Structure 1
Amino acid sequence: MTRKIIIDTDPGQDDAVAILLALASPELQVLGITAVAGNVPLALTELNTRKVLELAGRPDIPVYAGCDGPMDRPLVTAEHVHGRTGLDGPDLPDPQIALQEQHGVDYIIETLRNTPDVTLCPLGPLTNIATALTRAPDIKANIREIVLMGGGYFEGGNITPAAEFNVYVDPTAADIVLRSGVAVTMIPLDCTHQALTTAPRIAAFRAMTNRAGPAVAELTDFFERFDKEKYGSDGAPLHDPCVIAYLLRPDLFHSRLINVTVETQSPLTLGATVADWWRVTDRAPNVTFVRSLDADGFFDLLIERIATL
């Protein structure tokens, strides 16, 4: 049986690769994709989502624009990482796929009220997901799991010393999701920083004869320049595809059920995700926290699937 998922995203080069991986995996049924403001403003994230679907030849997947800013603070974006468009790198044409008229949050609520056993896959700030949970708490009954990319503990932050970008953009939303009682799996920086786009791995995408493979190579060519300079690493971490890979091959990942709490008040550590990995508090476990992955297995999966598009 296929696993029903809704992807919530703010593309972003790594978001684009995650979407392509999901579409290339017959084990997953992508019911729809909702866009949220994050890496770039909403007008670009919804456009970029439609560009990626067109690249994959999947006009059948509906795209919805969701929230254009965080729940209670100004929007912070990341053009310094992803470029002016959010998908700098390849020249992707304007899409023919239309944007749906329904608001993304309304789509999430309506779908979950009518469809059981759905996994939510947030790849950006959690604004859409938290808004849906706040407006319609009854939808929790039909959420199988929330598997998200966000947070970090042992690696610290990537937008501030303490905070990972997706959580920092909307810490209130992240706090709502983690306190919701829904099963949550968090793929944090601690895991994603092990999924590096080395030269041989990018070469494998560039050598593909389809459109998607070379486009992934061009996306990562642009994306990795920032992280190579920042971290002195051999490549860039492909954060968001780890969410989809976790659904497909959980055996590639090492995790532990622990308590994770989001800092929502401190100006110094706003957006920090405090992970009780060693279980030194009495706070109840609420998150499956993924700390590491088999990077070679992850890229083998990614290369195998993107080649089929």
Structure 2
Amino acid sequence: MPRPIIIDCDPGHDDAIALILALASPELNVKAVTTCAGNQTPDKTLRNALRILTLLERQDIPVAGGALKPLLRELIIADNVHGETGLDGPSLPDPDFSPQPENAVELMAKIVRASPHPVTIVATGPLTNVALLLAGHGALIAKIDRIVIMGGAVMLGNWTPAAEFNIFVDPEAADRVFKSGIPITMAGLDVTHQAQVMDEDIDRIRQLNNPVAEVVAGLLDFFMLYHRQERWGFQGAPLHDPCTIAWLLAPELFTSIERWVGIETRGEYTQGMTVVDYYQLTGHTPNAEVLMGIDRKGFIDLLVERVARYAV
């Protein structure tokens, strides 16, 4: 049976590619796509989800927009990474269908409540919507199989020296989620920075010569521009969000550790830090499976093989 999932995202180039990967994969049943503010403002991330699903001709999937800002803080966006639209680069269709009348949290609750099987939530943006779901619909927690998160880091941040962007945007939401007791898989920067797509990989995708592959290649061309900055020391561009979907499809591509993860919400220099008890010094029971390594070649091969399925 395909695994039922909800994708809560803030598209975003890598979010878009995560959606494309998920919807090419019969192992997954994408029950809904919900959006949050993050990589761009909430109106743009919602529009971008609709644009990607229009491209993929998946208007059957319900889409809803969520929280307009973090739980307690003002919104920070990453337009320096993702551009003015949030998906700068390739030509994308305008949406040809509308979002659901309910908001993201209500749509997530409806899907989880109605599902005969536990639902996995894949969260590739700030965790505001997920935190609101858990706070407002506590009775549904038992019906959530797992939350797979792109966020955090054992080591260094990418938005501040200590914090990864998604967690930094709404640390209070992340704190609620990590304290929920729901099984969590954390795909943080430690693994996603190893999941780099290189120029030759982009060429390989472009040579698939289908409309979706052209869009993926265009997204990656633009995404590469920011990551070529010398400060990062990257050879390519890290495909953060697709790691969540790849882990669901092929967990054997990853190595992981079970650890306790706490969220710093008050630190002067460490706000948004995921404090990972790597050496198990605290005595706290682990609350997350933390992904640490990836077979980069296997990951890229999986992405290419799935994008090839969009051939006309």
TM category (shorter chain) comes to over 0.9
**Is the 2:8–2:36 Cα contact (8 Å) retained in structure 1?**
yes
* TM-fit CA distance, 1:93: 2.2
**Is the 2:21–2:303 Cα contact (8 Å) retained in structure 1?**
yes
2:109 counterpart of 1:109: yes
Distance across 1 between alignment mates of 2:152 and 2:233: 21
> Residue 25 of structure 2 aligns to a residue in which SS?
coil
Residue 186 of structure 2 corresponds to which residue in structure 1? 186
Identity of aligned residues (%): 47
Residue 305 of structure 2 corresponds to which residue in structure 1? 304
* TM-fit CA distance, 1:231: 1.2
Residue 124 of structure 1 corresponds to which residue in structure 2? 125
Distance across 2 between alignment mates of 1:231 and 1:73: 28
Which residue identity does 2:96 align to in structure 1? Q
Which residue identity does 1:307 align to in structure 2? A
Residue 260 of structure 2 corresponds to which residue in structure 1? 259
**Is the 2:54–2:94 Cα contact (8 Å) retained in structure 1?**
no
Which residue identity does 1:292 align to in structure 2? G
Distance across 1 between alignment mates of 2:271 and 2:241: 22
Distance across 2 between alignment mates of 1:14 and 1:152: 17
Q: Any unmatched runs of 5+ in structure 1?
A: none
Residue 243 of structure 1 corresponds to which residue in structure 2? 244
**Is the 2:15–2:241 Cα contact (8 Å) retained in structure 1?**
yes
> Residue 231 of structure 1 aligns to a residue in which SS?
coil
Distance across 1 between alignment mates of 2:224 and 2:96: 29
* TM-fit CA distance, 1:91: 1.3
Distance across 2 between alignment mates of 1:53 and 1:83: 20
* TM-fit CA distance, 1:232: 3.0
> Residue 125 of structure 1 aligns to a residue in which SS?
coil
Which residue identity does 1:52 align to in structure 2? I
Residue 167 of structure 1 corresponds to which residue in structure 2? 167
* TM-fit CA distance, 1:98: 1.2
Which residue identity does 2:132 align to in structure 1? T
Which residue identity does 2:150 align to in structure 1? M
Residue 135 of structure 2 corresponds to which residue in structure 1? 134
* TM-fit CA distance, 1:267: 2.2
Distance across 2 between alignment mates of 1:298 and 1:114: 33
> Residue 197 of structure 2 aligns to a residue in which SS?
coil
CA offsets 1:239-278 (integer angstroms, 9 cap, x no match): 0000000000000000111100100111210000011122
> Residue 128 of structure 1 aligns to a residue in which SS?
helix
Which residue identity does 1:216 align to in structure 2? V
Residue 40 of structure 1 corresponds to which residue in structure 2? 40
Residue 280 of structure 1 corresponds to which residue in structure 2? 281
Distance across 1 between alignment mates of 2:218 and 2:111: 35
CA offsets 1:61-110 (integer angstroms, 9 cap, x no match): 11101111100000000000000110001011211021111111011112
Residue 94 of structure 2 corresponds to which residue in structure 1? 94
Question: Within 5 Å, which residues of 2 pair with 1:173-212?
Answer: 173-212=173-212
Distance across 2 between alignment mates of 1:49 and 1:19: 9
Distance across 2 between alignment mates of 1:278 and 1:183: 20
> Residue 77 of structure 1 aligns to a residue in which SS?
coil
Which residue identity does 2:123 align to in structure 1? P
Residue 83 of structure 2 corresponds to which residue in structure 1? 83
> Residue 225 of structure 1 aligns to a residue in which SS?
helix
Following TM superposition, where does structure 1 have runs of at least 4 consecutive aligned residues deviating by more than 3 angstroms? none
Residue 62 of structure 1 corresponds to which residue in structure 2? 62
**Is the 2:190–2:293 Cα contact (8 Å) retained in structure 1?**
yes
CA offsets 1:127-160 (integer angstroms, 9 cap, x no match): 0000010011111110010001000022x10110
Distance across 2 between alignment mates of 1:232 and 1:261: 28
**Is the 2:128–2:170 Cα contact (8 Å) retained in structure 1?**
yes
Which residue identity does 1:217 align to in structure 2? A
* TM-fit CA distance, 1:114: 2.1
Residue 9 of structure 2 corresponds to which residue in structure 1? 9
Question: Within 5 Å, which residues of 2 pair with 1:196-235?
Answer: 196-229=196-229, 230-235=231-236
Which residue identity does 1:84 align to in structure 2? E
Distance across 1 between alignment mates of 2:18 and 2:200: 19
How big is the alpha-carbon RMSD for the aligned residues of Structure 1 and Structure 2? 0.8
**Is the 2:11–2:48 Cα contact (8 Å) retained in structure 1?**
yes
Q: Any unmatched runs of 5+ in structure 2?
A: none
